[in-house]
A and B are shown apart, each in its own frame.
Chain A
Amino acid sequence: GAGVSQSPSNKVTEKGKDVELRCDPISGHTALYWYRQSLGQGLEFLIYFQGNSAPDKSGLPSDRFSAERTGGSVSTLTIQRTQQEDSAVYLCASSLGLAGKTQYFGPGTRLLVL
């Protein structure tokens, strides 16, 4: 079956503009995660959705970041008033939702803020 997909693959924007990143998880996966990865660094957890529960937003770095998941499937990560330090690869992953289960990653969106 289809894996996790993300769009766009690459995004170049100007400082101060808003961007929306999209994630399409594997069908049937109830858990969805957003991570950020700066060049050469590890994964930074941003936000987690599980079913219909309230999302865990504890990793969001500022109130400029928000995410939603519609209908328990597709998710969008929105960054408002982008800053140069937001430049990174944004990775989405989905899993069956049970603790410790394997996560399946999308190819990521490479964001560059000029």
Chain B
Amino acid sequence: SQQGEEDPQALSIQEGENATMNCSYKTSINNLQWYRQNSGRGLVHLILIRSNEREKHSGRLRVTLDTSKKSSSLLITASRAADTASYFCATDGNYQLIWGAGTKLIIKP
């Protein structure tokens, strides 16, 4: 079953703008991960944030985690055409990751 739910389902912005995607989950976690998927192929790991962390940065990516609200956000700053992809959050289950349905991000030139 899918625990994470991304919001919005789809997002279209102009190149150079910032993109924010949200993920909500239901049960307590040890960590939360964000992945990117281009063109319906394999996913690429972007960033992992642990439950005792509130914010993490990686290049143009900023992830926040609010365990009290069971939610996380992924911010991509200064978006580029190459950021066009689907973005998934995943939380740790017993031995596997539990995936959200994804946010489809389109960067318009």
Interface residues of A (CB under 8 A from B): 4, 31, 33, 37, 39-43, 45, 48, 50, 56, 89, 91, 93, 99-100, 102-108, 110
- Given that A42-B2, A42-B99, A42-B100 are known contacts, is A100 also in contact with B92, CB under 8 Å in the complex? yes
The size class of the interface chain B forms with chain A is: 20 to 34
The answer to whether B44 touches A105, judged by C-beta atoms less than 8 angstroms apart, is: yes
29 A-B pairs whose Cβ atoms sit less than 8 Å apart in the complex: A31-B95, A40-B104, A42-B100, A42-B102, A43-B88, A43-B99, A48-B96, A50-B95, A89-B40, A89-B41, A91-B42, A93-B42, A99-B30, A99-B92, A99-B94, A100-B29, A100-B31, A100-B92, A102-B48, A103-B43, A103-B45, A103-B90, A103-B97, A105-B42, A106-B42, A107-B42, A108-B40, A108-B42, A110-B40
Closest residue on chain B to residue A37 by CB atoms = B40
Report the Cα distance A6→B54, complex, angstroms. Answer: 36
Report the Cα distance A41→B99, complex, angstroms. Answer: 11
**Which residues 18-38 of B sit at the A interface, judged by CB distance below 8 A?**
29-31, 33
